[in-house]
């Protein structure tokens, strides 16, 4: 919704917004864009007499006085995705990136490829791509890249957001169970993905993860568009797009077993190589030769809160590095740790710090999967504040290497006490985590000589 506000302002509208507990980087972005942000959902905002209220899916019936009064007075309102389609996407070539994991990174890669190759795309991404510095942009280009989320649209529209976007090019990265607060099971999410597939025209393109059985099953329910597979060949449909590691900072790209080029970059992990293949394939559908997409990725910087270095304490081989990552699902946690371990090699320790903050995590649906997802960490620190299920019990399979604290200050003290020179501290949360990064860096600095 913050990115949507940016697009609306760039389109010439006067925009204000309200929300609860907004944190960086979105709060910072709104301030930099000159968009007024009001804390909470008070009735005084009606005094601004807006032409329309654009409603995000955090708003629910009976919980915000502002929404109740909008309904009581019969004031005009619309969902964010519907407003976006009617005012921005209707006449665009939409390139949509969907999947349980990797949407933000892949969307950022795709937008950057188009930008680097001179196509000046508009975009709306659920994070801040560091190549651009802002999460949304409106341009005169016919191309628009969007992170296509399967979460529901609004309290009055329970369809997934992505069915509103009418894309010509679609990336299907992967499909797992998530969003347990709105979906009863994996089959319900798969149905929404199938609905997305139904909206792609016959002259469009679906770029699909050929190694994901759930994606293949969704496509098997009916597909009326060409499909290019990446990772593995789906359903015997040819070799597709593949990546082969060349060295720690490079991988080779092939299409139907033909060499295409080599990506040289600083990102790590199989998940990022798959994201890159999907972005290269989607950009090619928009007219960018694959070799140019490969070259552009060599200049890709990544996204804020995706293995972002928040600070270092000490110097040389003894410095302690604090990372910030958005990982909020066991698969994402495991993938992030695998990438960091690959970057570090066998030497050095990883201290994983986790806040189970997403709605699915808070429900405890995936608590039994957490220990295995954290196995590559040398020590695990889990924040249990505000969680109703037994966090310490869930972490028990990790034995002595797991620490659970309900008080943030106590958690920071435990981390700082156990940290050693050369450690990497990986903080994982999809929220602000109480400003833990700055507080932890300050505490570490207090115990490390200059």
Residue 233 has what pLDDT?
58
User: Are 121 and 65 in a shared domain?
Assistant: no
Has residue 302 been placed in a domain?
A: no
Residue 78's CB is within 10 A of a number of other CB atoms, namely: 17
**SS3 label, residue 99:** coil
User: Are 328 and 250 in a shared domain?
Assistant: no
Contact by Cβ (8 Å): 109, 300:
yes
Residue 235 has what pLDDT?
47
- The count of C-alpha atoms lying within 13 angstroms of the C-alpha of 172, restricted to the half-sphere facing its C-beta, is 32
Reply yes or no: is the peptide bond before residue 263 cis, omega within 30 of 0.
no
Query: How are beta strands 424-428 and 308-313 bridged, if at all?
Result: unpaired
Q: Residue 143: what are its φ and ψ, rounded to 5°?
A: -100, 140
User: Are 71 and 93 in a shared domain?
Assistant: no
Q: What is the domain count for the chain? A: 3
CA trace torsion 112, 115, 119, 122 (10° rounding): 70
Indicate the residue among 41, 61, 81 that finishes a domain.
81
Has residue 160 been placed in a domain?
A: yes
Q: Residue 380: what are its φ and ψ, rounded to 5°?
A: -125, 130
Pick the closest to residue 132 from 161, 97, 160, 108 (CA basis). 108
Contact by Cβ (8 Å): 409, 374:
no
Has residue 131 been placed in a domain?
A: yes
Q: Could you say which DSSP state residue 212 is in?
A: -
User: Are 134 and 37 in a shared domain?
Assistant: no
CATH number at 202 reads 3.40.1190.10
CATH number at 327 reads 3.90.190.20
Residue 316's CB is within 10 A of a number of other CB atoms, namely: 7
Tokens of 262: 């080599």
Indicate the residue among 22, 54, 81 that finishes a domain.
81
CA trace torsion 254, 260, 263, 267 (10° rounding): -30
User: Are 288 and 432 in a shared domain?
Assistant: no
Contact by Cβ (8 Å): 33, 6:
yes
**SS3 label, residue 384:** coil
Q: What is the pLDDT of residues 92-118, one digit of tens each?
A: 999 999 998 889 999 999 999 999 999
CATH number at 26 reads 3.40.50.720
Has residue 114 been placed in a domain?
A: yes
User: Are 281 and 411 in a shared domain?
Assistant: no
Has residue 257 been placed in a domain?
A: yes
Indicate the residue among 297, 318, 345 that finishes a domain.
297
Give the residues of the chain that fall short of pLDDT 70: 180, 233-238, 448-450
Cβ-in-10-Å burial (0-12, 13-18, 19+) of 14 comes to exposed
Contact by Cβ (8 Å): 193, 162:
no
User: Are 167 and 30 in a shared domain?
Assistant: no
pTM above 0.75, yes or no: yes
User: What is the separation, in whole angstroms, between the first and last Cα of the chain?
Assistant: 42
User: Are 113 and 235 in a shared domain?
Assistant: yes
Has residue 174 been placed in a domain?
A: yes
User: Are 209 and 265 in a shared domain?
Assistant: yes
Has residue 303 been placed in a domain?
A: no
Q: Domain span at residue 275?
A: 88-297
User: Are 61 and 179 in a shared domain?
Assistant: no
Residue 162's CB is within 10 A of a number of other CB atoms, namely: 26
Strand order in the sheet with 320-325: 308-313, 320-325, 424-428, 350-354, 379-383, 402-405
User: Are 180 and 323 in a shared domain?
Assistant: no
User: Are 264 and 221 in a shared domain?
Assistant: yes
């Amino acid at each position: 919704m913050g990115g949507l506000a940016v697009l609306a302002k760039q389109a010439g509208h006067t925009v204000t917004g309200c929300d609860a507990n907004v944190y960086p980087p979105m709060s910072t972005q709104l301030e930099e864009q000159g968009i007024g942000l009001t804390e909470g959902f008070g009735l005084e905002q009606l005094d601004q007499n807006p032409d329309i209220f654009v409603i995000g899916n955090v708003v629910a019936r009976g919980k915000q006085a502002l929404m109740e009064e909008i309904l009581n007075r019969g004031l005009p309102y619309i969902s964010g995705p519907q407003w976006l389609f009617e005012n921005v996407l209707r006449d665009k070539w939409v390139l949509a990136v969907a999947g349980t994991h990797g949407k933000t990174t892949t969307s950022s890669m795709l937008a950057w490829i188009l930008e680097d190759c001179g196509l000046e795309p508009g975009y709306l991404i659920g994070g801040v791509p560091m190549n651009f510095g802002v999460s949304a942009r409106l341009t005169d280009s016919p191309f628009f890249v969007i992170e296509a989320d399967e979460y529901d649209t609004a309290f009055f529209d329970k369809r997934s957001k992505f069915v509103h976007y009418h894309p010509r090019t679609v990336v299907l990265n992967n499909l797992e169970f998530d969003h347990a607060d709105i979906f009863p099971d994996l089959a319900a999410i798969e149905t929404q993905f199938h609905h997305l597939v139904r909206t792609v025209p016959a002259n469009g393109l679906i770029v699909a993860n050929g190694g994901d059985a759930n994606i293949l099953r969704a496509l098997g329910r009916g597909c009326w568009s060409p499909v290019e597979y990446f990772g593995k060949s789906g359903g015997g449909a040819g070799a597709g797009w593949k990546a082969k590691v060349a060295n720690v900072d490079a991988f080779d790209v092939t299409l139907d077993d033909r060499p295409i080029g080599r990506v040289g970059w600083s990102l790590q992990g199989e998940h990022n190589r798959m994201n890159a293949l999907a972005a290269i394939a989607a950009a090619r559908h928009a007219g960018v030769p694959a070799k140019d997409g490969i070259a552009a990725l060599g200049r890709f910087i990544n996204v804020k809160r995706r293995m972002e270095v928040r600070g270092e304490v000490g110097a040389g081989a003894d410095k302690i590095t604090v990372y910030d990552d958005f990982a909020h699902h066991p698969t994402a946690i495991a993938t992030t740790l695998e990438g960091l371990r690959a970057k570090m090699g066998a030497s050095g320790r990883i201290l994983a710090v986790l806040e189970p903050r997403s709605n699915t995590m808070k429900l405890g649906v995936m608590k039994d999967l957490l220990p295995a997802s954290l196995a590559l960490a040398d020590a695990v620190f889990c924040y249990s504040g505000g969680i109703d299920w037994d966090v310490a019990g869930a972490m028990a399979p990790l034995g002595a290497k797991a620490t659970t604290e309900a008080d943030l200050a106590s958690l920071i003290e435990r981390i700082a006490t156990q940290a050693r020179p050369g450690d990497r501290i990986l903080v994982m949360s999809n929220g602000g985590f109480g400003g833990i990064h700055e507080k932890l860096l300050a505490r570490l600095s207090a115990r490390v000589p200059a």
